[in-house]
Amino acid sequence: MGPPRTPAYEAALRSAQESYAALPPGGPVRLAKRTSNLFRNRAEQAAPRLDLSACQGVFALDREAGLARVGGLTTYERLVDELLPHGFMPLVVPQLRTITIGGAVVGLGIESTSFRNGLPHESVVEADVLTGDGQVVTAAPDGEHADLHRSLANSYGTLGYTLGLVIELERTSPYVVVEHHRFRDLDEVSATVGQIMSTRQHDGTPVDFLDGVVFSAQEAYLTLGRWATSTEGLRPSDYTGPEPYYRSIQHRRRDVLTAEDYLWRWDTDWFWCSRAFGAQHPAVRRLWPRRLLRSDVYWRIMRFEQEHGWYAALQRRRGRPPQERVIQDVEIPLGRTADFLRWFLREVPIEPVWLCPVRLRAHRGEDSPWPHYPMRAGEDYVNVGFWSAVDIPPDGRPGDTNRAVEDKVTELGGHKGLYSDAFYDEQTFRALYGGDHLDEVKARYDPHGRFPTLYDKAVRAR
């Protein structure tokens, strides 16, 4: 199905199998990967790594069908570089350049096309998966391995590694014109999101992209974007310069970016998290090379601090309290989003907050088509993203704020992504993330337990 399985593609699959076969039998399986977008602290083990480096790039493109056969370890940066010149992009391009498509499929991804295109795993026509017994199976919506296809979303490599995928593509235009609309009432934000999700337009203008930023309960913005073949008289903006993109939202009504710059508008400053590294200070920004204004650079700085703790030690000497990392993305039903935001802004001292509406694509009438992240088909959600740290009070304990967020999300009928710290007890976790179904699928595709369970990986960080 889809574009041809080229000799180079078949060789990449064989290379992955050979690397897996060379690992010590029964030992832990760790992926050899230069970058990561996970925020779980896990003790690294000095052990041989699974090398999937051959599984990168676009191996075949079917322009007429709008499909591509791609390697699972391909970063979205490379996908965009290889597809955009042909006038295509994946249906959903997550915000950060170094997220891999295999990672987004098994770990969830989201962006401003998600209100109409859903999540990355929904555009997977078929996937070649390296399973726990060392075999490569082809998982598709129908056929022998349909159960694996349904189960990849939010499995985080606990069922196998996606070596290659056939994905649906969207046709692109050279530019994206955006409008930033300010709101002073969170209920009005939710109402406007619902209207746009239902009609895919606002005030008679088509909407192709939709996300938002909340700076406070009285200052929130929705950014509405649409494809354009020209700049429409505007000068294209470049946010690798002095001004971070998110600040432009507060004072620009209308803007235009090239398609590539729009897709990576958040990556340059890791949304707004680059301020923690001083990269938004005018003097520092003038000296910081533009090519290093990237999320993976900030990630490496952060990992260095986590390993060495120099800044934390300095803060202790200054008498500052210890901090708890609060890095989460949560999906809240649209009707409860304003309630969650009011609670969050009152209880958690973090701002800004990102909003990204999402609706699953149609799936044969199934209520929860993806059992390990059971968002309901036909229901509108808003992804709320917040990434910072909060002080731990003298009578508090690490994890209190994250636990409070988890409890509130569950109370409101939502779910949270598992790329960062999680604190659920095992019984609650299994109920929220399809534990019984995952057990059945794991028994089939990882019969010897080479890969960790989802609870071990997401909560115990093993």
**371: which 2 tokens?**
């059992």
Find, among 119, 85, 80, 87, the residue nearest to 103 by Cα.
Answer: 119
State the Cα–Cα distance between residues 69 and 72, nearest whole angstrom. Answer: 10
Using one digit for the tens of pLDDT, what is the confidence trace for 47-66? 678 999 999 999 999 999 99
Lowest mean pLDDT of 1-10, 65-74, 312-321, 324-333, name the range.
312-321
Using one digit for the tens of pLDDT, what is the confidence trace for 323-349? 899 999 999 999 999 999 999 999 999
Using one digit for the tens of pLDDT, what is the confidence trace for 173-215? 999 999 999 999 999 999 999 999 999 999 999 999 999 999 9
For residue 9, the model assigns a pLDDT of 98
**2: which 2 tokens?**
């889809």
Most confident of 114-118, 362-366, 391-395: 114-118
For residue 338, the model assigns a pLDDT of 98
For residue 308, the model assigns a pLDDT of 73
For residue 38, the model assigns a pLDDT of 62
Q: Domain limits of the chain?
A: 7-172
What number of helices (H) and strands (E) belong to the chain?
Answer: 16, 16
Lowest mean pLDDT of 69-78, 118-127, 220-229, 270-279, name the range.
270-279
**Cα atoms in the Cβ-side hemisphere of radius 13 Å centred on 301:** 16
Let me know: does 74 contact 125? Beta carbons within 8 Å: no
**What number is the average pLDDT over the span 248-274?**
96
Residue 396's identity, in one-letter code, is G
State the Cα–Cα distance between residues 57 and 76, nearest whole angstrom. Answer: 10
Q: Residue 406: is it exposed, middle or buried by C-beta count within 10 angstroms (0-12/13-18/19+)?
A: buried
For residue 39, the model assigns a pLDDT of 59
Give me the torsion for CA of 173, 297, 383, 156, rounded to 10°. Answer: 100
SS3 for 347? helix
For residue 302, the model assigns a pLDDT of 82
pLDDT at 43 over 60: no
pLDDT at 45 over 60: no
Please say whether the dihedral angle defined by the alpha carbons of residues 13, 38, 100 and 287, taken in this order, is positive or negative.
negative
For residue 26, the model assigns a pLDDT of 76
**131: which 2 tokens?**
């399973």
| pLDDT tier for residue 321 given thresholds of 50, 70 and 90 | confident
Bond prior to 352 in cis (omega within 30° of 0): yes
For residue 37, the model assigns a pLDDT of 58
Lowest mean pLDDT of 24-33, 86-95, 215-224, 282-291, name the range.
24-33
Find, among 244, 280, 260, 256, the residue nearest to 180 by Cα.
Answer: 256
Let me know: does 459 contact 429? Beta carbons within 8 Å: yes
Using one digit for the tens of pLDDT, what is the confidence trace for 149-176? 999 999 999 999 999 999 999 999 999 9
In this structure, whether the domain defined by 7-172 belongs to CATH 3.30.465.10 is answered with yes
Mean pLDDT of the chain: 92
Lowest mean pLDDT of 122-131, 223-232, 373-382, name the range.
373-382
For residue 192, the model assigns a pLDDT of 98
Whether the pTM exceeds 0.75: the reply is yes
Residue 92's identity, in one-letter code, is V
Q: Strands, E, within 106-208: which ranges?
A: 124-130, 136-139, 161-171, 175-183, 201-202, 205-206
pLDDT at 113 over 90: yes
| pLDDT tier for residue 364 given thresholds of 50, 70 and 90 | low
Let me know: does 296 contact 98? Beta carbons within 8 Å: yes
State the Cα–Cα distance between residues 418 and 328, nearest whole angstrom. Answer: 8
